[in-house]
Amino acid sequence: MHESTMRHLLEKNDKAHLRRTRRVFEERKDSMAMVDGLPVIHFCSNDYLNLATHPAVKKSFANTAGSQGLGSTGSALISGYSKSHAKLEAAFAEFLQRDKAILFNSGFHANLGVLTTFAGKNSVIIADKHCHASLNAGALLSRAKYIRYRHNHLQHAEELLYKNQERASLLVTESVFSMQGSISNIRQLSEMAKKNNAMLIVDDAHGIGILGKTGAGAGEHFQLTQKELPCLVTPLGKAMGSYGAIVSGDETTIESLLQFAGSYRYCTALPPAICEATLTALALLKNESFRREKLLHLCEFFLQESRKYNFTLASQDLTPIMSVVIGCSEKTLKIQQALIEKGLLVSCIRPPTVPANKACIRISLNCAHEEKQIVYLLDQLNEQYNAGE
């Protein structure tokens, strides 16, 4: 596009109160952070179990970087696949009770690879309307017919599956939706997929570490076998506190990704240090269940306390994502800024991430938060929510 066109688009974006800005994080420790020189209680992080800065995780990363250096030096199919990568894949396959796993560089890379491998121009992809941008991008890149069902509307999903059962179909959802915090009924989606000869693909980015008796995510929470949930995408940048994404399934599923996923083949592999640090985080997830237990208690506490106020949550499901629907992008921005001035950092979510009338304050809880911090947040949020009314 010409420069004048881009200037016009930027001006239009500004008028709609949609400009994004970056904040400089100078320090993160437990529930606190130093952001743009200001100390704040951090309610933006996806590090739900507070593992990213765990001393053991940092030590593992530093030790591996000290012995193996910074980068992996090549793609996994050429020179970048190390013993650390193989160990991480095997550890997650075992933890998730899957036959095999493959490590992608990010959840975005994984979703692009999965959808372009298992769908093509003669396929149809049926996905929840609130699925992540990476799933939308993968569906469009696959050239498949792309249809979206109303959010968590199982009847609508089944109608679309039935209408398209003569074509190779993928049924796609997130386990926990990243902006709303709502949980998808994957058990019923699995039954519908089997009935209509579709392949179920689940992005478990916000489910891993949270859902299930041991935190193993959606498969454990809904007690689904590998056959019932054939393709599971497990990004590692949320509760695991790391980076990259595991895709797991049977031998054929994973070998197909190894051979045909361009977003795997043409990327320099992640550094071995990230793999070793993630292995340490996985061990902590397994051995320190108190983290998940405290987090779920805080989620219950937040939902209970929020009922004292008149704002609307996007979901009442028990997850660390608590989004307060504001509606107007301008007002949402003003509330965020006012909260920062009160020492509270929350996310301001606006279109196109959410629909035009669904701008929201997204609050992420982690196990390092305390009840008094949540009470303070809700009090201040309520004050700003009702300001000027």
Q: For 82-121, what is each residue's pLDDT tens digit?
A: 999 999 999 999 999 999 999 999 999 999 999 999 999 9
The residues annotated with a catalytic role in the active site are 46, 132, 174, 178, 203, 206, 238
pLDDT in tens, 56-90: 999 999 999 999 999 999 999 999 999 999 999 99
Q: What is the pLDDT of residues 177-216, one digit of tens each?
A: 999 999 999 999 999 999 999 999 999 999 999 999 999 9
Instruction: Please provide the size of the chain in residues.
Output: 389
Taking the model in full, what pTM does it have?
0.96
Digit-coded pLDDT (tens) for 362-383: 999 999 999 999 999 999 999 9
pLDDT of residue 389 exceeding 60: no
By C-alpha distance, which of 169, 172, 232 is closest to 195?
169
Confidence of residue 1 (pLDDT cuts 50, 70, 90): low
pLDDT at 296 over 70: yes
User: According to DSSP H, which parts of the chain are helical?
Assistant: 3-15, 55-68, 83-95, 107-118, 133-142, 154-163, 186-195, 218-221, 251-260, 262-265, 272-287, 290-306, 329-341, 371-385
Percent of the chain topping pLDDT 70: 99
pLDDT band per the 50, 70, 90 thresholds, residue 166: confident
Looking at residue 322, its pLDDT comes to 97
